[in-house]
Amino acid sequence: MLEKMEILDVEKLIGDFEVMTKDAENVQRETLKMILEENGCAEYLQNMGLNGRTDPESFKACVPLVTHKDLEPYIQRVADGAFSPILTGKPITTISLSSGTTQGKPKFVPFNDELMESTLQIYHTSFAFRNREFPIENGKALQFIYSSKHSKTKGGLFAGTATTNVFRNSQFKKAMTAMQSECCSPDEVIVGPDFHQSLYCHLLCGLIFHEEIQLVSSTFAHSIVLAFRTFEQVWEELCDDIREGVLTSRITFPSVRSAMAKLLKPNPELADLIEKKCSRLSNWYGLIPELFPNVKYIYGIMTGSMEPYLKKLRHYAADVPLISADYGSSEGWIGANINPSLPPESTTYAVLPNIGYFEFIPLKENVEEHMQENGNVSFLSTEPKPVGLTEVKVGEEYEVIITSFAGLYRYRLGDVVKVMGFHNSTPELKFVCRRNLMLTINIDKNTEKDLQLAVEEAAKLIAEEKREVIDFSSNVDVSADPGHYVIFWEISGEVSDEVLKECCNCLDRSFVDAGYVSSRKVNAIGPLELRVVWKGTFHKILDHYLGLGAVVSQFKTPRYVGPTNNKVLQILCDNVAKNYFSTAF
Ligand code: AMP
């Protein structure tokens, strides 16, 4: 346990990591043994017939691969306050609500002290590597972090998003202090009941401590971009507050107001300085280093569904390095970014072999494509044969399976990763995409990543007009035959019909998988449709998720809006300003 003000010994942390990763296979065996010993008395494992065996071979033979749906009844009983051990030996006292932005609704997953410890371990590990290249000393961090609304389950367990469970843990603050990156905002702002008000106050705190800020961060990069987009709207109001030393009346929560009152003193010089800085920027390029002259880097998850925000983030950051944070989920952590000098597009995550037991389903071998006579392809998943952590092959793609200290056994996370190399004997993974996010009508299959690449390509056409895609999503419309892809775009300003028509054609041409192209050619899939939505539409989607108990810190725009996500589809469809059909084929 860390004592307050204890500073991390980064060389020791790196040394421990090196030792552990040199022996990843054994560490995995030991980790599985510990998980099964600690939780062997739980009903779920008792029913599997392990009879005290803890070796990987018996484990794989007895325990089936599961999805969240399979475990839902067990987790529900835990949440309802079941007295006997269900999934873990020790009782679970807290439930995490995963952001649910990929499925449409938040999911319950168990959270416990062991998960908190692995959170700290991964934070410390990546910090150690980061600090070697980008040292921070007695700095403050402008962290755009927010707690969710929390509630109690029927059984009286605390339920909040995973990040909320981490932020409210007393170990979190100590860890931040130990990493010399204390949040510049008071706790009342982080836990404030209204995210818009908290965001405004985070910005204000950042400006008050502008010279001390060495780090700008959030859990996911989306929140940083959202924060600076908001800054563009409210900077004059922020300056007024600083000049007068009085908080805008828009901030209404007494706890937040009184916490901010302690920091805010009339400071006309600072207000003038910020105004001067803002007025000399061209289109807000380089805003972050201009406001925070001592910032060393920008930190947050920047891979996967966050990649589309990198362009805007780079615009605000100018030459301040962007460093992607680690790879994990509400279900458990997976890997740390130990090569912080790599740009986010090349970031990999080295798996920590002691924070869980990991298996990987090879995607090449498990999906057999059968061309049927009528031209349809069915994807026959043979019984997946996962491989162990040290058995994965460089260049191959896998689906991640987690066995955790928090009651998940052989749990299919649904993420696709690619093995890029090894650090000692532990693999370094690149995040590819969510497995279930797939645009498909008949023989075509396009993933979240394919969609992202198509949008990037088409967005180049509006970049020539100094416009950008603020956010995007997709759907397949099969209400008429043939069905077709629908791409929703929110863009930053006016773009001519001519250019948008060309964007629509470009999107259609950019899905290059053979199934799509061949279907389009024979009109088995109809012309792609680009629907441009009014500005602010994606904000409405964010607000919708916040209403469901999600939190901005963990928000990921759903890139595919399927039938399980009717409300979001409705928001998108209700806000269409213009639409175009492709003439590319
Ligand atoms: P949640 O549990 O709601 O916070 O979502 C977890 C999911 O976020 C993971 O399963 C991934 O799909 C995604 N995710 C988490 N960390 C990363 C990362 N470093 N890069 C890309 N995607 C990530």
- For residue 217, the SS3 value is strand
Whether the predicted pLDDT of 566 surpasses 90: no
Whether the predicted pLDDT of 389 surpasses 90: yes
Q: Does residue 372 lie within any of the structural domains? A: no
Q: Which residue bears the tokens 């204000």?
A: 204
**For residue 467, how far is its CA from the centre of ligand 1 (angstroms)?**
28
Does the C-beta of 344 come closer than 6 Å to ligand 1?
Answer: no
* Measured distance CA(487)–CA(490) in Å, rounded: 10
pLDDT at 367: 45
Boundaries of domain holding 284: 135-158+170-320
Q: Does residue 80 lie within any of the structural domains? A: no
Query: What residue's CA is closest to ligand 1, atom 10?
Result: 329
Q: Does residue 551 lie within any of the structural domains? A: yes
Q: Which of 130-139, 213-222, 286-295 has the lowest mean pLDDT?
A: 130-139
Does the C-beta of 328 come closer than 6 Å to ligand 1?
Answer: yes
Whether the predicted pLDDT of 368 surpasses 70: no
256 alpha-carbon distance from chain centroid: 27
Atom of ligand 1 nearest to the CA of 327: 19
Q: Does residue 335 lie within any of the structural domains? A: no
End-of-domain residue from the set 298, 320, 342: 320
Phi first, then psi: give them for residue 11, nearest 5 degrees. -65, -40
87 alpha-carbon distance from chain centroid: 26
Pocket test for ligand 1, best of 99, 351, 415 (most atoms within 8 A of CB): 415
pLDDT at 101: 63
Angle value at C-alpha 244, between 243 and 249, nearest 5 degrees: 115
Q: Does residue 545 lie within any of the structural domains? A: yes
DSSP symbol at 500: H
Residues with Cβ < 8 Å from 226, sequence gap 6 or more? 144, 199, 552
Q: Which of 109-118, 314-323, 375-384, 543-552 has the lowest mean pLDDT?
A: 375-384
Does the C-beta of 330 come closer than 6 Å to ligand 1?
Answer: yes
Q: Does residue 259 lie within any of the structural domains? A: yes
How many structural domains compose the chain? 2
Whether the predicted pLDDT of 377 surpasses 70: no
Phi first, then psi: give them for residue 152, nearest 5 degrees. -110, 140
Q: Does residue 180 lie within any of the structural domains? A: yes
Q: Does residue 244 lie within any of the structural domains? A: yes
Beta carbons of 478 and 523 less than 8 angstroms apart: no
Pocket test for ligand 1, best of 126, 327, 555, 560 (most atoms within 8 A of CB): 327
Atom of ligand 1 nearest to the CA of 334: 16
End-of-domain residue from the set 320, 347, 366: 320
- pLDDT one-digit tens code per residue, 520-537: 998 989 999 999 999 999
Local confidence band at 2 (pLDDT 50, 70, 90 cut-offs) = very low
End-of-domain residue from the set 271, 301, 320: 320
Mean pLDDT of 463-487: 94
Q: Which residue bears the tokens 């863009």?
A: 491
- pLDDT one-digit tens code per residue, 400-444: 999 999 999 999 999 999 999 999 999 999 999 988 778 989 888
Mean pLDDT of 364-393: 61
Atom of ligand 1 nearest to the CA of 301: 19
pLDDT at 247: 97
**For residue 321, how far is its CA from the centre of ligand 1 (angstroms)?**
22
Pocket test for ligand 1, best of 67, 556, 559, 560 (most atoms within 8 A of CB): 556
Same domain, 454 and 316: no
Does the C-beta of 415 come closer than 6 Å to ligand 1?
Answer: yes
Beta carbons of 415 and 431 less than 8 angstroms apart: yes
465 residue type, one letter: E
Q: Which residues of 232-260 are buried (b: 16+ CB within 10 A; e: fewer)?
A: eebbeebbebbbeeebbeebebeebbebb
